[in-house]
């Protein structure tokens, strides 16, 4: 396409205004609903993936309840966890606002809210890596066979650490991927790809981000509080 179609006022149309569904789709509504359904199916796979971690948690918690509870209080700081939770919840809210911005055709609102979401994600990762992971690595509170912390509380601290590390590290990895995907969405928003008639990929990015938040909603109390 070398010439861009002009809108009624003779002004060049934004990409979202001249979006055309794929040629195998009968209409744009089908394409949007299918895209969302596909995204939900993918989220289902992510939930089941993390479900494995929850199953391992439940299993070991059942076997060693006292040690687990004590280890949780001994090694983890609930304040850091709570701060991270609040920040993630805020980021969920702002990404909803970004979608609202697309629906009301306000590009600035999309970009601002995505930027806040991005900052929240960065805050989460910085706190996690800087305040949680680095001190743990330095003190030797590492998973399983690498656990070398000299003052363990119980006999199974290393298993608790294993479950903690793999759950939160995988979650952190998903946060990181989320940041990349949000950055891509910001680029697309800046290029004018999102508007009231078409904001499918922004919605899907939002769904992914909400899932990351929901997983943390479950991880936080189970690892930090109880």
Of residues 17-36, those binding other proteins (CB under 8 A)? 20-30, 33-36
Site string for other proteins, 45-84 (x = CB under 8 A): xxxxxxxxxxxx-xxxxxx-x---x--------x---x--
Q: Are 119 and 169 in contact (CB under 8 A)?
A: no
Q: Which is nearer to other proteins, 118 or 157 (CB)?
A: 157
For residues 217 and 179, what is the distance between their CA atoms, to the nearest angstrom? Answer: 18
207 interacts with other proteins by CB under 8 A: yes
Q: Which is nearer to other proteins, 124 or 165 (CB)?
A: 165
116 interacts with other proteins by CB under 8 A: no
- Which of 212, 1, 196 is CA-nearest to residue 89? 212
226 interacts with other proteins by CB under 8 A: yes
Stretch that binds other proteins, among 116-124, 133-141, 156-164, 182-190 (CB under 8 A): 156-164
Among 110, 159, 185, 202, binds other proteins (CB under 8 A): 159
Among 6, 7, 77, 104, binds other proteins (CB under 8 A): 104
Q: Which is nearer to other proteins, 17 or 131 (CB)?
A: 17
Sequence-distant contacts of 18-24: CB under 8 A, at least 24 apart: 19/193, 19/197, 19/198
119 interacts with other proteins by CB under 8 A: no
Q: Which is nearer to other proteins, 52 or 135 (CB)?
A: 52
Q: How far is the CB of 208 from other proteins (least distance, A)?
A: 10
Q: Token pair of 30, please? A: 């089908």
CA 88 to chain centre: 8
180 interacts with other proteins by CB under 8 A: no
Among 99, 121, 179, 185, binds other proteins (CB under 8 A): 99
Reduced to 3 states (helix: H, G, I; strand: E, B; else coil), residue 100 is helix
156 interacts with other proteins by CB under 8 A: yes
For residues 156 and 153, what is the distance between their CA atoms, to the nearest angstrom? Answer: 8
CA 202 to chain centre: 14
For residues 69 and 136, what is the distance between their CA atoms, to the nearest angstrom? Answer: 18
Reduced to 3 states (helix: H, G, I; strand: E, B; else coil), residue 195 is strand
What are the two backbone dihedrals, phi and then psi, of residue 161, each rounded to the nearest 5 degrees?
Answer: -60, -40
Number of shown-chain residues binding other proteins (CB under 8 A): 87
């Amino acid at each position: 396409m070398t010439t861009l179609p002009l809108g009624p006022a003779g002004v060049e149309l934004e990409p979202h205004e001249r979006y055309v569904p794929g040629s195998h789709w009968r209409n744009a509504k089908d394409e949007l609903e299918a895209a969302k359904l596909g995204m939900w199916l993918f989220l289902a796979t992510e939930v089941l993936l993390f479900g494995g971690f929850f199953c391992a948690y439940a299993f070991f918690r059942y076997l060693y309840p006292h040690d687990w509870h004590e280890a949780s209080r001994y090694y983890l700081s609930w304040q850091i966890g709570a701060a991270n939770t609040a920040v993630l919840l805020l980021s969920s809210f702002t990404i909803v606002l970004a979608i609202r911005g697309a629906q009301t055709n306000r590009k600035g609102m999309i970009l601002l809210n995505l930027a806040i979401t991005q900052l929240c994600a960065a805050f989460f990762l910085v706190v996690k890596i800087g305040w949680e992971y680095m001190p743990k690595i330095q003190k030797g509170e590492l998973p399983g066979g690498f656990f070398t912390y000299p003052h363990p509380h119980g006999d199974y601290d290393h298993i608790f650490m294993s479950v903690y590390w793999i759950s939160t590290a995988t979650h952190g990895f998903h946060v990181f991927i989320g940041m990349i995907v949000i950055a891509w969405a910001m680029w697309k928003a800046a290029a004018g790809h999102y508007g009231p008639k078409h904001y499918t990929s922004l919605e899907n990015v939002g769904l992914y981000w909400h899932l990351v938040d929901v997983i943390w909603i479950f991880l936080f109390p189970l690892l930090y509080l109880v």
